[in-house]
Amino acid sequence: MLTRKQLELLEFIDARMKRDGVPPSFDEMKEALQLRSKSGIHRLITALEERGFIRRLPHRARAIEVIRMPETADRRFAPRVIEGGARAAAPAPSPAPPPRGALPVEAAHALELPVMGRIAAGTPIEAISEISHHVAVPGTMLSGKGRHYALEVRGDSMIEAGINDGDIVVIREQSTADNGDIVVALVDGQEATLKRFRRMRGMIALDAANPAYETRILRDDQVQIQGRLVGLIRSY
């Protein structure tokens, strides 16, 4: 799965290759994606190369080859969103319909999940373990038979994955993850953060979904997976 910026860059490179026969310069990429510096482009290029969408040819300037384009279903991560939540106001007498693709929080077979505190989507914060309150979640959102819990998001490092500051994420408790999963990662036993998981060359990369944040590269023994994102609750 690609972030919005990764997909935009891949489509821009592919379009320019088809039009001109050569890839755009880094300055052109930076301008097209409205980034402040070329370092963000370097990170996006690296991510696309590691995911097998492009290949950089050595010893040649501006040598980028598009290997493949993503399947339509895999182009973007779109978390399932529930309208409402613990902070939502009381319903109005004639409420407006929920946004397209959203589920009403009063959906059938709703279950209460513990909100275990706040999770950082940005600079990691202290590990969280105490229940602050509960939130109603439709049973259809919960995946499998495992234990689920919820966390309140703080920070903007996952905004291109559709996860905003103040959202409540629904997490399925598990200790393993596949490449591309958005996970709750406990770093060095004391920092909890929400990031996209990736293994690379014997290390673990925790990728942000915001080019303003650097990827964190850590040893396997520094990272403990505490769950995988399965849904999201947003209050308006």
Point out the residues that are catalytic: 157, 195
Which value, in Å, is the radius of gyration of the alpha carbons in the chain?
Answer: 19
**Strand, helix or coil for residue 176:** coil
How far apart CA 73 and CA 57 sit, in angstroms, is: 29
CB atoms within 10 A of CB 220: 10
Q: In this structure, what token pair is assigned to residue 231?
A: 């849904």
CB atoms within 10 A of CB 215: 16
Name the nearest CA neighbour of 235 among 117, 85, 133: 85
Cα separation values, 84 from 88, 97, 99, 106, 231, Å: 5, 12, 11, 9, 13
Half-sphere exposure in the Cβ direction for 215 (13 Å, CA): 20
Contacts with 195 (C-beta within 8 Å, 6 or more apart), sequence order: 121, 157, 158, 182, 183, 185, 206, 207, 208, 216
8 Å CB contact between 174 and 147: no
